A and B are shown apart, each in its own frame.
Chain A
Amino acid sequence: MPREYRTIEEVAGPLMLVQQVEGVKYDELGEIELPSGEIRRCKVLEINGQNALVQLFESSLGINAEHSKVRFLGKGLELAVSPDILGRVFDGMGTPKDGGPAIIPTRMLDINGKPMNPAARDYPNEFIQTGVSAIDGLNTLVRGQKLPIFSASGLPHAQLAAQIARQAKVRDGSGNFAVVFAAMGITFEEADYFINDFRRTGAIDRSVLFINLASDPAIERISTPRMALTAAEYLAFELDMHVLVIMTDITYYAEALREVSAARKEVPGRRGYPGYLYTDLATMYERAGRQRGKEGSITFVPILTMPDDDKTHPIPDLTGYITEGQIILSRDLHKKGVKPPIDVLPSLSRLKDKGIGEGKTRADHANTMNQLFAAYSRGKDAKELAVILGEDALSEVDRIYARFAEAFEREYVSQGFEGDRAILETLQIGWKLLSMLPKNELKRIKESFIDQYYGKD
């Protein structure tokens, strides 16, 4: 039986100071027993001589410094895992909240995980077909990649994420798929949308859900994503499954982190977020990937809402520096009725070149992708110019480009949230659009491909 301390000196926000402790370790998990018998959890943030500064994982409501007891458990926060976690719904602390029985664990896993040795990683290079042209054709997702969706309030990121979760497959249809979904601080309705969508499509049977709603204590959000990633690692690297992890919303997670940092009176970095936000986010995002000698993989699609649509805000900014690209949703396209409103120009998949080409998609994929980007970019410039000067001021070629940009948004990007296009269909639409341009404008495509596909419908 671990020693109990009745020496809580301070409780302030998410932090608590316990004095005269002995043998307490850094990062150790603790339990607080309230006078009512209720048990809450905490972890050691700093240990200085006999003083332990702990961070609560749950609300501090009702903690009484005089009559509450603290025990330290000699281990970190753990998640109980077994193959039975599939199809279950948990709260942010890993406790079942679907009314089902508790998990009988085959293993207890530390939720912090351990850094993956770069020499043991296997490079992600297997094409995942999401059925969304703007992703498959231009910002290709591959197995083991971390590709966030940068959204903003009022944009349909939930629909897009659900669409990806529903449609994602590899071309030969092999593999054992699972979805791990973590909700941090989102509303009941949004969480309900995902759960219903998973139920509707039967995906729920191969999903694990961790739900922390906006009404749950903010502080629980710090452990939620780590619970989810621990479950994902278990499924991927022990049960050999291909796991798609979807998390929403990283912004709320970072805000919870800021709350703890402010309570600790740490020197703030940009916009009050702690200086270690990059490292903290990285220890989550980097858990995605593939490992040598393991069948499974973790593909990670975190969703974040950019405050005020600002891409340079610390959360999207630091995320972009860690993840392998980003899918950016645009308010303008959303208002034009483009579904999904993916703005392909600032979107990027860094691993796309490894997942496309002969044997994976088709030999001409890389060339057409570059040409579509260049042409759409030039078409958008031409359209902007036309707004200022009128269409007449455009050169003949620029007028074609402007028309191309229109058609591109309408036919290529806007496919609806139910549309599921095979990659060959996506490529074919691409060629149909490129055929609007004169042949000599297609400078980024090898001549042999032009001969093979140009103008053929």
Chain B
Amino acid sequence: MANISQGTIVKVSGPLVVAEGMRDSELFDVVRVSDKKLIGEIIEMHGDRASIQVYEDTAGLGPGEPVVSEGAPLSVELAPGLIGQIFDGIQRPLARLVEMAGNNIDRGVSVPAIDRTKHWAFQPVATVGQVVVAGDVLGTVQETELVLHKVLVPPGLSGTIESIEAGDKLVTETIAVVRNIKGQSVHVAMLQKWPVRRGRPYAEKISPDAPLVTGQRVVDTFFPVAKGGTATVPGPFGSGKTVIQHQLAKWAESDIVVYIGCGERGNEMTDVLMEFPELIDPKSGYSLMKRTILIANTSDMPVAAREASIYTGITIAEYFRDMGFSVSIMADSTSRWAEALREMSGRLEEMPGEEGYPAYLGSRLANFYERAGSVRCLGSEGRIGVLTAIGAVSPPGGDLSDPVAQSTLRIVKVFWGLDSALAYKRHFPAINWLNSYSLYTDKIDAWMNQMVTPDWSKLRSDAMRLLQEESELEEIVRLVGQDSLSAVDRLKLEASRSVREDFLHQNSYDEIDTYSSLNKQHRMLSLMMQFYYDGQRALERSASFRDLINLPVRDGISRLKFVPEAQVTERADQLARELTEQIEAAIPQGVM
């Protein structure tokens, strides 16, 4: 235990408070500032003067008021009771704050993150006399219908179980006693704490190879993200960053979703809060809120807590990863987090780097994304846990030369570039297929070929080539007009238009279109490509271009996205038959 020291405020400048008499406290210790007991964190020490970033509004603070160190770094509470909650940037439960302080957020309110009065049915897995190491499962708690919460031996502890008890327990009650190597009896409760700025330990990292299926066609087919991978969505305002993040939070194949609203709109968090409980997970049949944790530090909330929110979120995500879950974390937006860094850096009078951002921006971002990954968890079981991180970036004016965007692109493996021109055309998701990329494609192609269909990678690369060729042809059309193109080229334009409008375009507000299974994606794209291949052959056999583009079956293909999953295979088979027949019929008789 570190020393508890008490000092006094000498300077207040916005969220930065300087206090003297703090020699005994450690860097990154949590402190309580003034009689209002505002929460802060020491971020610099000069002699006995500590610079403190305060997570609450500092209006009304002045020199002479006390500052008390809590002797521990900023930590989150980890236990059953996290799922379905909405927390602020320093893990205060916002719903409880409403009950205590009303609709607006008051200062200095202290509420435990995890409900201390709720009993959970603890079911032991380990037995008395068993030798356990850190990460081994002591027992389980059915936290929600979707989440079987595993209570693990905390990092740093190993030994023999002396006692373990089933029953309804509070999170703070002892559930097991472990005799460690030194022969001491250690009482383990469900509630554990972990400092947010330190990654939770794991046995080893594993290279990811399976896709995180999201049900979003442009993502899964063209720019897939691996389970345990990292992705970024940069884009100007109005290009649909948040909608994509929401879609991924809703439909991505994860056991747990941690959604961080970092310096963004309050109404967006409300939207998630009100919509998620009503959305039903197609696989489990339960509400999506039963696997979701929200961290909300909206743009009007204190800026320093925005800086902490990212770490709070990822630490909670790591905790569930350690149980062997596939966890996804969405951070919207990392630019606002970087701005919070910049604001604190400015107040500390640090030498600015690019655009006033601190020089350590890149390393902080890298540090965050590197906490994602697919890992073999601690413990003798060798569980695999997965943490996928997806961060939005809001570059000023959509300009990707922005330091936050550039630092992010250096780290992440998937880039979904949003394009305002597409957004104006209401082509959503407005992911620009020409400049986006995924560095996981090769590995995931192998998985898809094996698990979905053997021709997946061919289909994908053919379709991508078609889209590339379209953009070149468009330039020519712009110069000389469509009529001067050959029929083959015009067919190419028609086919790629159908891929663009009927496949890439996906309406997230439509009940059915909002999610496409891999099977549906495959069937849709194969039909579109079949039209292209067969159409080319028909043209060679003197079919008229006009007849081809007016085939009645094309209407059915473009509406396949509105066909419910259960009927997709049947409908697609039918369309494929009709397509073959109609193209055949379009070829003039007697021509070989």
Residue numbers of A with Cβ under 8 A of B are 23-28, 45-50, 76, 112-124, 144-145, 237, 266-270, 275-276, 278-279, 282-283, 285-287, 289, 291-294, 311-314, 317-318, 320-322, 324-326, 345-346, 348, 350-351, 353, 366, 370, 373-374, 377-378, 385, 388-389, 393-395, 440, 443-444, 446
In the complex, the answer to whether B11 meets A393 with C-beta atoms within 8 Å is no
In the complex, the answer to whether A123 meets B425 with C-beta atoms within 8 Å is no
Chain A residues near B58: list those with CB within 8 A: 26-27
Known A286-B266, A374-B425; judge A49-B62 contact (CB<8 A): no
C-alpha spacing A292/B103, complex, angstroms: 8
Chain A residues near B579: list those with CB within 8 A: none
Does any Cβ of A come within 8 Å of B60's Cβ?
A: yes
In the complex, the answer to whether A123 meets B60 with C-beta atoms within 8 Å is no
Identify the interface centre among B102, B420, B481, B507: most chain A CB within 10 Å of its CB: B481
Chain A residues near B61: list those with CB within 8 A: 25-26
Chain B residues near A378: list those with CB within 8 A: 425
Residue numbers of B with Cβ under 8 A of A are 10-14, 18, 57-64, 86, 94-95, 97-98, 101-106, 236-238, 261, 263, 265-267, 269-271, 273-274, 296, 298-303, 336, 339, 342-343, 346, 352, 355-356, 394, 396-399, 420, 423-426, 477-483, 501-502, 507, 509, 555, 558-559, 562
In the complex, the answer to whether A275 meets B342 with C-beta atoms within 8 Å is yes
C-alpha spacing A17/B104, complex, angstroms: 33
In the complex, the answer to whether A121 meets B62 with C-beta atoms within 8 Å is no
In-complex Cβ contact of A325 among B62, B238, B424 (8 A): B238
In the complex, the answer to whether B420 meets A346 with C-beta atoms within 8 Å is yes
B98 to chain A, nearest CB (A): 5
In the complex, the answer to whether A26 meets B62 with C-beta atoms within 8 Å is yes
Chain A residues near B274: list those with CB within 8 A: 123
In the complex, the answer to whether B343 meets A322 with C-beta atoms within 8 Å is no
In-complex Cβ contact of A286 among B298, B352, B426 (8 A): B298
Chain A residues near B559: list those with CB within 8 A: 443
In the complex, the answer to whether B296 meets A118 with C-beta atoms within 8 Å is yes
In the complex, the answer to whether A324 meets B343 with C-beta atoms within 8 Å is no
Chain B residues near A393: list those with CB within 8 A: 480-483
A248 to chain B, nearest CB (A): 21
Chain B residues near A120: list those with CB within 8 A: 98, 102-104
Ranked 3 nearest A-B pairs via Cβ? A312-B397, A282-B299, A393-B481
In the complex, the answer to whether A123 meets B270 with C-beta atoms within 8 Å is yes
Among residues of B, the one whose C-beta sits closest to the C-beta of A318 is B396
Known A27-B58, A118-B261; judge A443-B399 contact (CB<8 A): no
Chain B residues near A49: list those with CB within 8 A: 10-11, 63
In the complex, the answer to whether B355 meets A26 with C-beta atoms within 8 Å is no
B549 to chain A, nearest CB (A): 10
Identify the interface centre among A123, A268, A345: most chain B CB within 10 Å of its CB: A123
In the complex, the answer to whether B238 meets A346 with C-beta atoms within 8 Å is yes
Identify the interface centre among A121, A268, A314, A324: most chain B CB within 10 Å of its CB: A121
In-complex Cβ contact of A23 among B62, B86, B342 (8 A): B62
Chain B residues near A121: list those with CB within 8 A: 266-267, 269-270
C-alpha spacing A353/B397, complex, angstroms: 25
In the complex, the answer to whether B397 meets A389 with C-beta atoms within 8 Å is no
C-alpha spacing A48/B399, complex, angstroms: 39
Known A27-B59, A123-B274, A373-B426; judge A48-B356 contact (CB<8 A): no
Chain A residues near B356: list those with CB within 8 A: 267-269, 275
In the complex, the answer to whether A117 meets B270 with C-beta atoms within 8 Å is no
In-complex Cβ contact of B298 among A114, A118, A275, A276 (8 A): A118
Among residues of B, the one whose C-beta sits closest to the C-beta of A281 is B299
B83 to chain A, nearest CB (A): 16
Residue contacts A-B, CB under 8 angstroms, 15 given: A23-B64, A24-B63, A26-B59, A48-B18, A76-B60, A112-B59, A120-B98, A268-B356, A292-B103, A317-B396, A320-B236, A345-B424, A350-B238, A370-B507, A378-B425
A80 to chain B, nearest CB (A): 20
Given contact pairs A122-B270, A286-B299, a sample of 10 additional A-B residue pairs in the complex whose CB atoms are under 8 Å apart: A48-B13, A116-B300, A117-B101, A121-B266, A282-B300, A291-B103, A312-B398, A317-B397, A348-B423, A443-B558
B275 to chain A, nearest CB (A): 8
C-alpha spacing A120/B100, complex, angstroms: 12
In-complex Cβ contact of A322 among B299, B478, B481, B555 (8 A): B299
In the complex, the answer to whether B59 meets A286 with C-beta atoms within 8 Å is no
Chain B residues near A267: list those with CB within 8 A: 346, 352, 356
Known A27-B59, A121-B267, A312-B398; judge A320-B299 contact (CB<8 A): no
Known A324-B265, A324-B267, A325-B238; judge A115-B63 contact (CB<8 A): no
Chain A residues near B482: list those with CB within 8 A: 393-395
Chain B residues near A144: list those with CB within 8 A: 267
In the complex, the answer to whether A118 meets B266 with C-beta atoms within 8 Å is yes
In the complex, the answer to whether B60 meets A25 with C-beta atoms within 8 Å is yes
Among residues of B, the one whose C-beta sits closest to the C-beta of A271 is B396
Chain B residues near A279: list those with CB within 8 A: 263, 299, 303, 339, 343
Chain A residues near B302: list those with CB within 8 A: 115
In the complex, the answer to whether B299 meets A278 with C-beta atoms within 8 Å is yes
Chain A residues near B105: list those with CB within 8 A: 114-117
C-alpha spacing A244/B342, complex, angstroms: 34
In the complex, the answer to whether B97 meets A119 with C-beta atoms within 8 Å is yes
Among residues of A, the one whose C-beta sits closest to the C-beta of B107 is A114
Chain A residues near B420: list those with CB within 8 A: 346
Chain A residues near B14: list those with CB within 8 A: 26, 46
Chain A residues near B60: list those with CB within 8 A: 25-28, 76
Known A275-B346, A320-B237, A393-B481; judge A118-B425 contact (CB<8 A): no
Chain A residues near B13: list those with CB within 8 A: 26, 45-48
Chain B residues near A285: list those with CB within 8 A: 299
Chain B residues near A275: list those with CB within 8 A: 339, 342-343, 346, 356
Identify the interface centre among A24, A291, A322: most chain B CB within 10 Å of its CB: A322
C-alpha spacing A195/B377, complex, angstroms: 67
A157 to chain B, nearest CB (A): 19
C-alpha spacing A440/B498, complex, angstroms: 13
Known A49-B11, A118-B261, A275-B342; judge A24-B86 contact (CB<8 A): no
B172 to chain A, nearest CB (A): 24
Known A23-B64, A114-B104, A123-B274; judge A289-B266 contact (CB<8 A): yes
In the complex, the answer to whether A346 meets B424 with C-beta atoms within 8 Å is yes
Chain B residues near A287: list those with CB within 8 A: 300
A424 to chain B, nearest CB (A): 22
Known A326-B238, A385-B478; judge A278-B336 contact (CB<8 A): yes
A90 to chain B, nearest CB (A): 23
C-alpha spacing A286/B62, complex, angstroms: 28
B460 to chain A, nearest CB (A): 24
B113 to chain A, nearest CB (A): 14
In the complex, the answer to whether A116 meets B478 with C-beta atoms within 8 Å is no
In the complex, the answer to whether A322 meets B62 with C-beta atoms within 8 Å is no
C-alpha spacing A268/B343, complex, angstroms: 11
Chain B residues near A350: list those with CB within 8 A: 238
C-alpha spacing A38/B18, complex, angstroms: 35
Among residues of A, the one whose C-beta sits closest to the C-beta of B425 is A377
Among residues of A, the one whose C-beta sits closest to the C-beta of B420 is A346
A375 to chain B, nearest CB (A): 10
Chain A residues near B296: list those with CB within 8 A: 118-119
Chain A residues near B86: list those with CB within 8 A: 118-119
B543 to chain A, nearest CB (A): 19
In the complex, the answer to whether B59 meets A116 with C-beta atoms within 8 Å is no
